[in-house]
Amino acid sequence: MTSRSSSTVLTEPRSESRPLRVVQWATGNIGTHALRAVIEHPRLELAGVHVHSPGKAGRDAGELCGVDPVGILATDDLDAIVDLDPDCVLYMPLALDVDEVCRLLAAGIDIVTTRGEFHHPATMDPDLRARVESACTTGGSTIHSTGSSPGFITEAIPLVLTSIQRRLDRLTIDEYADLSRRDSPDLLFGVMGFGKPPVAFDERRLVFARHSFGPSLLLVADALGMPLDSVEASGELALATQTTRIAAGTIEAGTVAAQRVTASGTRNGEPLLNFRATWYCTRDIDASWDLADTGWRVTVDGDAPLDVALRFPVPLEQMASISPGYTANRAVNMVPVVCAAEPGIRTTVELPQAVAVFG
């Protein structure tokens, strides 16, 4: 744990001979990957594990993430975590608990989180921002939100690609997910509505898209000196043109086979920064959408135009088990950067780029 009091953000991570002591908070899909990464990291030391399930409390951290025992037992006790006096907590629960976040920060413990509430402080809930910033001041601590999407693809990559522009007309991030081999019928048919007759797009999902990706778009636009007027979300459905069997079941002809959600940041009445997620169970649909392989595509319209594809070269059957690492690994790699930063809610714009250390 470190105490920092000046108001200038450091430009380089601190250099210390001792490893940074890290607590993994929550061991779901992403948390499990992060836990394993911390255990195997050459310059991080696992200090503890916080779990929410009583069945996991008391179990060895190695057992929880599929490696050999490491002699550290998981706990569901917040006080026990604070007493460990770690440098940083990797905070990855399903829901934000403001009280526990503020308790950690006020105790001088830095936080790297895959929660999305802290990407753009200016548009955070004012009460939440005030409480968290007060806790950071009390503890001399730092909190940073990151991940793969939002995070890496919506902030780090756009900032890099626009660094070779002197005019920006539009930047669009496309995210693609081929779900044909995803054997998750409850998720695809129950939650997402694939294989069902078309209905009005679920407003809750539009709100989720706006809240999840809007902060990143606002952050990047502010950094570029082109603040957005608004961020709006829209959704589209496409239907199967023929009956198709996928891993999760059957998509009948005429039912929902593909979905697209767009969060669009506008400036002066025109789209400037866009995030568009396209999920599909078959390519045989009644819409002329681009259905690229699972991964990302970023197009930049400016005076140095770019079209960059980032594909996930992973068998679709293994995607569900491998893809959490994209989010977890970035959070783990940001730990040294966040531990070197000045107190407060720090964003991708303010912090140095993450550098992965392998040896």
pLDDT score, position 36: 98
Q: Which of 343, 304, 331, 356 is closest to 160 using CA atoms? A: 304
pLDDT score, position 183: 94
Q: 10 Å Cβ neighbour count for 309? A: 13
All CATH 3.30.360 domain ranges in the chain, comma separated:
152-314
Q: Which of 126, 101, 123 is closest to 114 using CA atoms? A: 101
Banded pLDDT at 201 (limits 50, 70, 90): confident
**DSSP 8-state code for residue 318:** G
**pLDDT at residue 219 above 80?**
yes
**Average pLDDT for residues 108-113, to the nearest whole number?**
98
Per-residue model confidence as pLDDT tens digits over 277-315: 999 999 999 999 999 999 999 999 999 999 999 999 999
**Average pLDDT for residues 136-164, to the nearest whole number?**
98
**Average pLDDT for residues 168-183, to the nearest whole number?**
97
What percentage of the chain exceeds 70 in pLDDT? 96
Banded pLDDT at 217 (limits 50, 70, 90): very high
**Average pLDDT for residues 177-189, to the nearest whole number?**
96
**pLDDT at residue 7 above 60?**
no
All CATH 3.40.50.720 domain ranges in the chain, comma separated:
20-146+334-345
Q: How far is residue 19's CA from residue 1's CA, in Å, rounded to a whole number?
A: 11
Q: How far is residue 302's CA from residue 23's CA, in Å, rounded to a whole number?
A: 43
pLDDT score, position 16: 56
Per-residue model confidence as pLDDT tens digits over 231-272: 999 999 999 999 999 999 999 999 999 999 999 999 999 999
**pLDDT at residue 204 above 80?**
yes
What CATH number is given for 152-314 in this structure?
3.30.360
Q: Domain 20-146+334-345 maps to which CATH number in 3.20.20.70, 3.40.50.720, 3.90.950.10, 3.40.718.10?
A: 3.40.50.720
Contacts 24+ apart (CB under 8 A), 284-287: 284/240, 284/241, 284/242, 284/244, 284/257, 285/238, 285/239, 285/240, 285/241, 285/257, 285/258, 286/238, 286/239, 286/240, 286/241, 287/236, 287/238, 287/258
Return the residue matching tokens 């950094």.
223
**pLDDT at residue 340 above 60?**
yes
What percentage of the chain exceeds 90 in pLDDT? 93
Per-residue model confidence as pLDDT tens digits over 8-65: 344 344 445 799 999 999 999 999 999 999 999 999 999 999 999 999 999 999 999 9
**Average pLDDT for residues 83-112, to the nearest whole number?**
98
Residue bearing the bigger pLDDT, 9 or 317:
317
Banded pLDDT at 200 (limits 50, 70, 90): confident
Instruction: Kindly provide the residue ranges of all beta strands, DSSP E only, lying in the chain, ordered along the sequence.
Output: 20-25, 44-50, 88-91, 110-113, 142-145, 168-178, 230-239, 244-246, 249-251, 256-267, 270-280, 295-302, 306-311, 344-345
pLDDT score, position 9: 41
**pLDDT at residue 193 above 50?**
yes
